[in-house]
Amino acid sequence: METTEKQEEKASEILARAAKLLNDVSKVYEANFELMKEQDALQQDLLHKLEIENLTRDERAKLAAELRDCRRLRRKYKDVVEELEPIAGYYGTAAGMQAVKQLSRFVGELRKVENYHQNRHYVPRFGRVKGDDQDAE
């Protein structure tokens, strides 16, 4: 992580997003998997309609557009499933769950330090410091 005068994003925010991804990965993976299966079923329905029914040219063109849209949507869901599969597989292990707990602890510790840094102030130990406006009399 680079150090800059004004850090764009706090480390706790980055790690919190990672922890949220890991906590949500199973639900998101399953939801996209189910949506992908729905598109598979729709595709089969459309193909059977094309195979069995006596369609006009316009009906076939409309069906082809529906099939194209179905395949595109299925691809979108399948891409998410494929991208999340390794993460979901890891999160389902004991080591993965332990890593998420540890990551969440890190986020808490980082937020405490960031909060301290944001709210800190210095209280002089000896009273007035030489160079204060009051010493200039």
Question: Cβ of 40: how many Cβ atoms within 10 Å?
Answer: 14
Q: What is the pLDDT of residues 54-109, one digit of tens each?
A: 999 999 999 999 999 999 999 999 999 999 999 999 888 888 888 888 988 988 99
Q: What is the pLDDT of residues 31-56, one digit of tens each?
A: 999 999 999 999 999 999 999 999 99
Q: What is the pLDDT of residues 15-34, one digit of tens each?
A: 899 888 888 999 999 999 99
Question: Cβ of 47: how many Cβ atoms within 10 Å?
Answer: 13
Selection from 23, 5, 4 nearest residue 15 by Cα: 23
